[in-house]
A and B are shown apart, each in its own frame.
Chain A
């Protein structure tokens, strides 16, 4: 299926995602702070942190191999490339085929794999602990995510995200069926796991008992850490965009007005999902690691039921 989303628009959307990513993190942090009756840092704090990191020097562990230096580069590249695969402000497949939902999940998995490999390089127990836990949760999240994608792909006959979004059309809210509700519920269960937030992971702590993702970043410093942090922000917004592309896309709309409308709608959708994440983070405690599979099991059941409803 050849689409009409020019390559330039795809690249602009990708850059937009990278630029807005830290803002989403800042917004969630601000909302969390307000919910906890704190003033909190400004929503632009992640940008300041990034700017600081990219200006700092580095301290590298003496046991690391040559791979360690290039890990942040590859992780950032893979995550940003995943950002090129989600439709942001306009639905429809790109004019030249790039990748589909499976490719997007594959690129995110590549970034995760490389992060885990990098964590083992420094030879500290914290990195290994983080890598081990992350690589325990990831294989459990991936099949459920894949099933959620399939539950919408079965209806559209394609796994290309732009085409999936276009298939739903502009009046998606009238056409939602039980399968969509269940699929969306599964996605909401997965969202904290995929973005590394409570109740699966805690992004605010560096305490070895509670952390997953942050543990893997401990040995990175300076610009390398900046790259990893930017990749985390990008990963979060890419995941949120994936949810919106699958469940409430803005349909194809031409012209500058359509693009503006799409951008506005995108902002609203991301804000809604970010609010959800902030609310969940503020109202739940982190789960024990070995409770997480049960938690993800809820998502699995929802996704399987959604698929069954779609296929039967």
Chain B
């Protein structure tokens, strides 16, 4: 275990270097070898994190790093929280590394060896940075990995070069990510400057001496930085563009894992580094996080509903699920160290952390499923697909599994973490009487709305993509994905089932992170009271009452009832079975009779019109007389409120400002030097006055 971090670094490093070296001979070989190395690194990460999480409680692994910089000591510090997020990273990384080579080969068969080398290199750097970001023991390592993660994922986003759209998505991603990084830099450097050192222990000591307003300012800076990376509304606009642009297994990693790394940063910075020494967190922190979480959850799923690009739809669902995670995190912030809410804070944090791994599993699975469809049909618009269930049965089945899981339906894992979130919210509502309780309950109602809308969205996404008749010849001639891609999906699908049916065992993994973060009882002390197969919580402060469910029993009941229903379904006697065309009122059935995704989502588009501002344009071409319509052209779109109300406005202001500056920009170098000098003079003057 001591050598764990070294092995992980060696695997990812070797993968990155070999990818560059081998590409001279064969791009394909480089691709396979780099993905194999990534799989090995992920497996090492899995082993290390499981060893730490299931080993003796409270164990922390500290490894010094070589001194790259004279002014800072670098180190790795792996406690329960780090190990847990390393687990999340590794779990999806295994699947992505198995899935990757076959996908890239099928998706872009004519890719040059340079691109393949870059993809293998960037994938390993990306994974390595995420793994070591979770294990960082000082601010410098953290920020370096953070930047490495951003740059490597940018390379991957633009590597799938089909059109200018990818480049634009990559640029937007770059700008947003660095805006967030700038906020983080300020937050971290403010602490390191006070501490005079970079390691987390020194930062913690420095934070203890902060006064209230400074502490809260730093928190909001960090929240802004992490929320940009996590894609929280209204900072989400880059996410639905950048995630779909990457190769699908990288999309799975970006949506399933990279967003979670931001959550890790938020948890580490808030609970571990910045929290006051004693007493609850400031009032504004938790409520803000709860509010943005609820908003993200509802808006994320509402915008997902109106997307017809399969990968974009999934990306919007990541916004939703990050919102659900933040609801748990916010509640934990509110309840932490309250006089009677201690155990409840653990329940809330457990819900958030469990949803983190659950979302990684099912979102990874869904993106890989979408990738299979994409690599076989080269289509992302679900309106052009259809009928794939008969042609790609494994992909369809696994996608349906992921759809049930993400819609928070029992007996799969999405339900478990949402159930825990509901329990925590209900407990919070009983704990806080008055308006605060009402806000929490309203948040619970919004969570229920989110679950229902997610189910609607995935009924649409699955139904239109995989069922009915194929709408294009690409969809008609699709074939099943190769075994290695299915293997990657199976691994995540099995996780969804296991985490759903026996969630009590997952509580054991959550003990170390919750105890490390909240310094209170571990997850399994407050959530499972009776064995690993039962989930139970105590909601009231006295702990007399509570709710217990057993996912295992419900799953067993479902299986038994399905067996009985199967007998009924067969019928009591042998009766004739006939296959006939679908009834379409006497006309010849074609794919045009299938309900489209636009039509499916139309009622909800009208119900929530206030949020969508839907626009539609119908042009009729008449043939001679107005009574004979030759052709109808329909175009419809919805707007993202954040985009129109915030980003476009900012864009207009910036353009207006640039117009003003343009008058002064003469093109002569002396003029510019003069501007720089003037700016320097003003800055020195201001700083001189300030100190």
Enumerate chain A interface residues (CB-CB to B < 8 A): 1, 54-67, 69-70, 72-74, 76-78, 80-81, 84, 93, 96-100, 102-103, 106-107, 109-110, 112-113, 116-117, 119-125, 127-129, 131-133, 135-136, 138-147, 150, 153-154, 156-160, 163, 218-219, 222-224, 226-227, 230, 289-290, 293, 304, 307-308, 311-312
Contact = CB atoms under 8 A, between A and B. Distances in A.
B459 A223 contact: no
Nearest to A116: B459
A289 B545 contact: no
A307 B452 contact: no
Contact of A121 (B467, B539, B562, B602): B467
Given A77-B562, A98-B549, A223-B568, 5 more contacts: A55-B573, A58-B577, A77-B558, A77-B564, A139-B451
Contacts of A290: 603, 606-607
Contacts of A121: 389, 463, 467-468
A119 B462 CA distance: 12
Contact of A109 (B452, B550, B603): B452
Given A74-B562, A158-B539, A97 B571 contact: no
A98 B554 CA distance: 6
B578 A113 contact: no
Contact of B408 (A78, A84, A106): A106
A34 to B, nearest CB: 32
B433 A56 contact: no
Closest 4 CB pairs of A and B: A128-B595, A139-B452, A120-B463, A97-B548
B466 A65 contact: yes
23 contacts: A63-B581, A69-B569, A77-B564, A96-B553, A99-B549, A99-B553, A103-B419, A109-B409, A109-B455, A117-B467, A119-B463, A120-B459, A123-B467, A125-B584, A147-B445, A157-B540, A158-B546, A160-B547, A218-B583, A222-B575, A230-B568, A304-B442, A312-B434
B389 A62 contact: no
B408 A132 contact: no
B409 A98 contact: no
B549 A103 contact: yes
A307 B594 CA distance: 43
Contacts of B453: 139
Contact of B400 (A67, A139, A226, A230): A67
A311 B410 CA distance: 29
A57 B578 CA distance: 8
B220 interface: no
B467 A65 contact: yes
A223 B570 contact: yes
B565 A96 contact: no
Contacts of A113: 404, 407, 409, 455, 458-459
B582 A219 contact: yes
Nearest to A147: B445
B445 to A, nearest CB: 4
B647 interface: no
A119 B463 CA distance: 9
B230 interface: no
B513 to A, nearest CB: 25
B375 interface: no
Contact of B468 (A57, A59, A116, A122): A122
Contacts of B595: 120, 125, 127-129, 131-132
Contact of B441 (A119, A150, A156): A150
B534 interface: yes
A312 B453 CA distance: 29
A8 B539 CA distance: 28
Q: Range of interface residues on chain B?
A: 35 or more
Contacts of B601: 132
Given A1-B548, A66-B393, A116 B554 contact: no
B452 A65 contact: no
B429 interface: yes
A128 B594 contact: yes
Nearest to B594: A123
Nearest to A84: B557
Nearest to B607: A293
B419 A60 contact: no
B132 interface: no
A298 B416 CA distance: 30
Contact of A77 (B400, B434, B565, B575): B565
A155 to B, nearest CB: 9
A92 to B, nearest CB: 13
A67 B415 contact: no
B561 A58 contact: no
A97 B550 contact: yes
Contacts of A74: 562, 565
A61 B569 contact: no
A117 to B, nearest CB: 6
A146 B549 contact: no
B568 A226 contact: yes
A307 B444 CA distance: 12
A212 B604 CA distance: 14
A222 B580 CA distance: 14
Contacts of A304: 442, 445
A152 B404 CA distance: 28
A97 B536 CA distance: 9
B464 A120 contact: yes
Contact of A60 (B386, B557, B572, B580): B580
B291 interface: no
B449 A138 contact: no
B386 to A, nearest CB: 8
Interface in B391-409: 393, 396, 400, 404, 407-409
B448 A142 contact: yes
Nearest to A105: B448
B593 A123 contact: yes
A121 B462 CA distance: 10
B423 interface: yes
Nearest to B550: A97
B578 A140 contact: no
A85 B296 CA distance: 32
Contacts of A97: 530, 534, 536, 548-550, 553
Interface string B448-478: 1101110110111011101111000000000
B393 A159 contact: no
B422 A159 contact: yes
In this complex, the member of A120, A121, A131, A304 whose beta carbon has the largest number of chain B beta carbons within 10 angstroms is A120
A99 B568 CA distance: 25
B437 interface: yes
A132 B539 contact: no
Nearest to B553: A98
Contact of A223 (B419, B433, B463, B569): B569
A109 B411 CA distance: 12
A110 B404 contact: yes
Nearest to B568: A227
A109 B463 CA distance: 16
